[in-house]
Structure 1
Amino acid sequence: MERAIVHMDLDTFFVSCERKNNSKLNGIPIIIGGGDRGVVASCSYESRRFGVRSAMPIKMALKLCPDAKVIRGDMDLYSKMSHEVTEIIEEKVPLMEKASIDEFYLDLSGMDKFFGCYQWTQEIASSVTKETGLPISFALSNNKTVSKIGTGEAKPDGHMEIKQAMIRPFLNPLSVRKIPMVGAETYKLLSRIGIRTIHTLSEMPKDVLQKILGKNGQELWRKANGIDDTPIIPYSERKSISSEHTFSQDSIDITGIKSLITGMAEHLANQLRAEKWLTSTIVVKIRYSNFDTETKQCRVSYTSADHTICKYALELFDKIYSRRMRIRLVGLKLTGLVHGEYQMNIFEDTQDIMNLYQSMDYIKARFGKNAVGRASGFNFQSSPK
């Protein structure tokens, strides 16, 4: 049985949510982000015509499009709207994967027996727009890679079907940058050896690509040839992530305990970014030597940034630790999670902070989670749950 895989993507999701709340924003260039030193979290198609792109410093974006209206962003609103869309889609399909706050994969394999997959997907998209007021694009093909590329080509507010016989003709003329796993550095490397289109990439020997790109070379070749067996991962909303440490001997070393909390915050923030989560609630727990346990929590703007989580976690500890007794256990939990790429929480972050975290995450992924971090966080090791 041939697979029927749909990729659905809400068009300029943050901008669309803001326009739903304020119709005066329709038709004008919009930039979602925070502060003069922040970066663009999202932007409207009107501003993109001037060269504005996500993750661009807002100062640069305003030089390109000085008439753009900058909106700080409301992650609570975006999360609420994302949940509404998720519920609509989930009710109508046998298998759904939520890839991010505004992106979904559907497996409709076998549904042609009962209802045309393409027509069924069109009706789902129409339901989303009718019930939420948000525009959505989609593409239907036989795997994730082709359907995702198709959605990108169909935007804005478009749709397409790419059948098996049309996959290669569809992919061949496109830039290799259209392949999801090709970033800026990979593109530069491929360009230097004359590979700029998917067609050229698809005809390269696999062993040559492996020598150039390492283990990703063969996977990239498969995607360029429209081959992708990646399954749809059933959607389930994760509630929280946490870390706890039980001392071998009850401790009153407050400096050391705060160092441990800092280390926990860094490890959990790295996990959030790796798994594409943002948190809205920070919880600190302590257990005294007499086994009395206390917790305290606070809500924050959606984030996965170390410095934000560290700050609030330490403030919570100062508020909760009131008895001046020895401590047996300390824990940190992040809840109220929503799915989203790291750049979705950069309403406060500068380009320098974003670059720093990306570099730290790369080092941790390659050399281990304890390879780099704040000096104050290395005195104790935590045990993530």
Structure 2
Amino acid sequence: MRYSWPGAHAAGPSCAIWCRRRRIRASHDDRHRSQSAGHPSWRAGHDPRHPGRPRGDHGVPHRLPAAALLGVGPATARTLISYGLATADQIAATPLPTLQRILGTATGRQLHRVAAGIDPTRVTPGAPPRTFTAEHRFPRDELDPGRQRGALTHLAKRLGARLRAERQACDSLALTVQYADRSTTTRSRTLPEPTAHSPGLRTAAHALYLTLGLQRARVRCLTLRVGDLCDAGSVSRQLTFGLDDDKARRIEAAADRARARFGPGAVRPASTAGMP
């Protein structure tokens, strides 16, 4: 099933969403939707690009090039072609042990399933996203490390508040820095334990920032991303001695209640004043 929204003007952008029971079918349809004018839908047993050519039992075109299969990059495609496996039907007909000897155990198994149109992954309606992202773009290229760290603090606070509002916790953190010449650098790390605690995210974000060793760098944009999300109710927390951590969490809970009542900017660190 395909839903499309043409642009408001003849030269405007258009949008198409492919709906399938299996992710692989939607991915194949989306990859090849621009092959024919008008973005026709593919129906079971029919390939609109080649009306007289049947499709595979699971909806994958027989002669689909190996490079067009989900998860196949240029290097893997070259390897497959060197063994005479240039199309989906040839790969699907190849015994699984042979593919695993060529590509490795995991990659061979995955490709064998993809070529046959087998994908056990189902789309879960209403499932939470796998990552949350927050971005701060400076009004002009920023040289001051203090302001850069202040922006990181603000991003960590925003992500922490969103995680708690969605009842999620994250297990990884990634920082992307964009410079004045539009080049970027990314650093990531796995957290000691899943968390939605803003101070913990802030500490990890500042640690990633320090690993960059920026020396008078002109920073244009900072992007912080939390990943490997899980249900916060299933997360265990390491107990610590002292009352500082519990006090910080109680303050955080009170701040969340204030934001829920008066808006997201009701409570924030003074160093982040004026940031969106």
| Superposition TM-score, scaled by structure 2 size | 0.50
Larger radius of gyration: 2
Q: Which is helix-richer, 1 or 2?
A: 1
Bigger RCO of structures 1 and 2 (CA < 8 A, at least 6 apart)? 1
| Superposition TM-score, scaled by structure 1 size | 0.36
